[in-house]
Amino acid sequence: MILDLVRHATTGRDAYLDGRTDPPLEAGSTDRICARYAELEWERVLSSPRERALATASALALPRGLEVIGDEDWEELDFGDWDGQPLEALPMQALQAFHLDPHANPPPHGESWGHFERRIARALHRLLDDPEPAPTLVVSHGGPLRMVLSQVCGLPMAMCWALRIDHGTRVRLRVEREDGELWGELLELQQAT
């Protein structure tokens, strides 16, 4: 299956850790993304249920006459006490520990890394349940896009943190499932700007 994942358009809150916090998109922020990906064809569009993702998905789906299907499994990690906070206000050592080993150092009162891994894997498996999976677009967040790269391509999460996945970034993958295991290859990583 060919899978395109797009990080939602900008909210203007790059200096914040927004997981479940759901600020609106900046006015006109989907225009460049829609222009950049106008020639791509999909047969289905899924999205995180967060408004910033749904609005981006709707802008991409509308010209193609496609319906957007909201799916909670594509939500960003719940950052717990850190959610919605400016990055500069967070304890730097704790944030670095989280990036080095998210299993051992999850955000306080946030979602466990294991739960996050399982729900992204579940979402990917559902995409492949159709015997003839259609070319699909999923609009989500930086965390889920990195998790998909890790799970499908076998990239260590530390390497995925090092990839720039800015707002509007598109990741194209070929995703397969064999004997219940996901595998695939990275075909493209494209910035919207």
Token couple for 58? 């709707």
The DSSP secondary structure of 5-46, one letter per residue, reads EEEPPP-S-TTEE-SS--PPPPTTTTHHHHHHTTT---SEEE
Parent domain of 59: 2-190
CATH of the domain at 122: 3.40.50.1240
Q: What is the pLDDT along the chain (193 residues), one digit of tens a residue?
A: 999 999 999 999 999 999 999 999 999 999 999 999 999 999 999 999 999 999 999 999 999 999 999 999 999 999 999 999 999 999 999 999 998 899 999 999 999 999 999 999 999 999 999 888 899 999 999 999 999 999 999 998 888 888 899 999 999 999 999 999 999 999 999 998 7
Packing angle of the helix pair 113-127, 142-153 (nearest 10 deg) = 70
The DSSP secondary structure of 44-59, one letter per residue, reads EEEE-SSHHHHHHHHH
Task: Please answer whether residues 7 and 30 qualify as being in contact, where contact means their C-beta atoms are separated by less than 8 angstroms.
Answer: no
Looking at the structure of the chain, the number of domains it has is 1
SS3 call for 98: helix
Model's pTM, two decimal places? 0.95
Burial of 77 from C-beta contacts in 10 A (0-12 / 13-18 / 19+) = buried
pLDDT of 192 reads 87
Whole-angstrom Cα distance, residue 15 to residue 181? 36
